[in-house]
Amino acid sequence: MKVIVGIKRVVDPYVKVRVRADGSGVDLANAKMAINPFCEIAVEEAIRMKEAGTASEVIVVSVGPSQAQEQLRTALALGADRGILVESEEPLDSLAIAKLLKVISEKESADLVILGKQSIDSDNNQTGQMLAALCGWPQGTFACKAEVEGDQITVTREIDGGEQTVRLSIPAVVTTDLRLNEPRYASLPNIMKAKKKPIDHLQVADLGVSIVSKLKTLAVNAPAERTAGVMVESVDELVDRLKTEAKVI
């Protein structure tokens, strides 16, 4: 079984982001970049499948600037076999990414595509669902457990009311939630080995996909700063403030 994992280059989740002065987006100059945390979980799950003998090859795919090969190398150091970078200096919307992944999945004859359920920058939670629709494949989103059984995969999904278990025919699309696994750290020997693993560089034009976006970002604003807390002298004062100031009781 050939598994494709989509990964996205995002600002490191432990870095405080800065909004550009003109409100056009986030300032990425000199910002530390990393693999989207949900994508790390997707990579880990694919590698575990390979270690269990259910996956024969793990291919990591990223769409973005040439610097995204750094994140691909990280995924290769974690255990992926090879990488594909579709270079695009312009940020693409979820539908464009899904179209590109569809073409790559078809070219690679992929049996399973695993994606993070969302990225921590745009937070759209759309690409996996769009890819499944474009391919006509079943989908298991928000996966907290996944087990391959022959030509099927059983996915336990996190839903508002608890958990839901679905069985999908392969080929399929799975998107990962936080409780699916805990990503490993890359060892130094594997980091050295990853430098020799192949990464194919493609252009969007090579895949014959229209990437004209139907979305336009009007403005990006930093969240309002939280006001400092207030110490109270007694429970009575707390109740009074909740009634008169916060007005929550």
Residue 88: which domain range? 2-246
Omega prior to 171 cis, within 30 of 0: yes
2 pLDDT above the threshold of 90: yes
**How many domains is the chain partitioned into structurally?**
1
Q: Which pLDDT value is given to residue 109?
A: 97
Sign of the Cα torsion 39, 198, 63, 4 reads negative
Give pLDDT, residue 69: 96
The answer on pLDDT for 52 being more than 90 is yes
Identify the band that residue 24 occupies on the pLDDT scale cut at 50, 70 and 90. confident
155-170: average pLDDT = 95
Q: Is a pLDDT exceeding 90 seen at residue 34?
A: yes
Q: Which tens digit of pLDDT belongs to each residue from 118-162?
A: 999 999 999 999 999 999 999 999 999 999 999 999 999 999 989
pLDDT for res 237 = 92
Q: Find the CATH number of the domain harbouring 138.
A: 3.40.50.620
Give the model confidence (pLDDT) of 189-234 as tens digits. Answer: 999 999 999 999 999 999 998 888 888 888 898 888 888 888 889 9
Please tell me the distance from the alpha carbon of residue 60 to that of residue 3, in angstroms, as a whole number: 9
> Is residue 32 predicted with pLDDT exceeding 90?
yes
* Closest-CA residue to 131 (of 4, 15, 2): 4
pTM confidence score: 0.89
Question: Is the pLDDT reported for residue 169 higher than 90?
Answer: yes
Mean pLDDT for all residues in the chain: 94
